[in-house]
Structure 1
Amino acid sequence: MNLDIYTNKSKEAIQSAQQLMSQNHNPQLEQIHLLVALLEQEDGLIPQLLKKMDVTLESFRAAARAELQKLPGVSGSVSLDQVQADSSVISALNAAEDQAKAMKDEYVSVEHLLLG
């Protein structure tokens, strides 16, 4: 994964996902961390898109957060220096990069992350 080809908002979402993982004491980064991070982005494109689709954003966020709470946790703190990503996250990030290429976009943006 080459973060140089990710937009600032995409990088922020990935960093937020890592922070969620750490705050919840989860042993590895999962797709649900990334989804929650995308849903909670200030002035983010994903919440705007969902609103245009008449999705009740607060209910969707609550459901995603509930799934996040179901993940196993570890005792002690989880270091952001040693983030372990689940294979599904790596696949999703690779798919997001492929989506960007297919759409002839130079950078991987949040919509690519959602599609990935």
Structure 2
Amino acid sequence: MRFDKFTIKAQEAIAQAQSIAESRNHQQIDAEHLLLALLEQEEGVAIPILQKLEVNPSLVRERTEELLQQKPKVYGPAGGAYLSNVLKQILDRAFLEAERLKDEYVSTEHLLIALSDGDGPVPTLLRSLGVSKDVIYRVLVDIRGSQRVTDQNPEGKYRAL
């Protein structure tokens, strides 16, 4: 995985997901950790996307916390959390989304799109609230306009919501 092809905000979200997993004694960094990290991110695009979709970010956070409560905890010597297979697949899908949008870097919106796609608790949660890949694409047009992700700090260039 080439993390140098992620924007700074995307790298921060993945690092925060790891911190969330470790602070909760979870052995694997999973989709729920990444979604929560995106929701906690200041100046990220996840919350503005949800707000444009008229989805309450606090409700998404609450439901994500409920999913995290169900994860097994592992106690013992700190070995660090590792990426789950599910999260690896999500990151791979995020790369594909970046390519599809002709972006040079994987950004937080690509992560959110990848989280909303596929099977599992997180895509099911997001879809139950009306958040799907297709509606995220529509909202991205409003947020990004015709801009592409061509550097590691695109979020600062997006249109003000």
Normalising by structure 2, what TM-score?
A: 0.68
- Which structure 1 residue ranges, 5 or more long, are not aligned? none
- Which structure 2 residue ranges, 5 or more long, are not aligned? 115-161
Amino acid at match of 1:2: R
Amino acid at match of 1:103: L
Matching residue within 86, 92, 117 for 1:94: 92
Per-residue deviation, residues 13-67 of structure 1 (Å, max 9, x unmatched): 0000000010000011111100110111112210011011111111111111111
Amino acid at match of 1:72: P
Higher relative contact order structure (alpha carbons within 8 Å, sequence separation ≥ 6): 1
1:19-58 correspondence to structure 2 within 5 Å: 19-58=19-58
Matching residue within 102, 110, 113 for 2:111: 113
Q: What percentage of aligned pairs have identical amino acids?
A: 37
CA distance in 1, matches of 2:99, 2:6: 12
CA RMSD across the alignment? 1.2
Shift of the 41–77 alpha-carbon distance from structure 1 to 2, 3 Å rule, reads farther
Amino acid at match of 1:108: V
Q: Is the 8 A contact 1:38 1:110 kept in 2?
A: yes
Query: Runs of 4 or more off by more than 6 Å in structure 1?
Result: none
CA distance in 2, matches of 1:43, 1:61: 17
Match of 1:73 in 2: 73
- The size of the alignment, in residue pairs, is 114
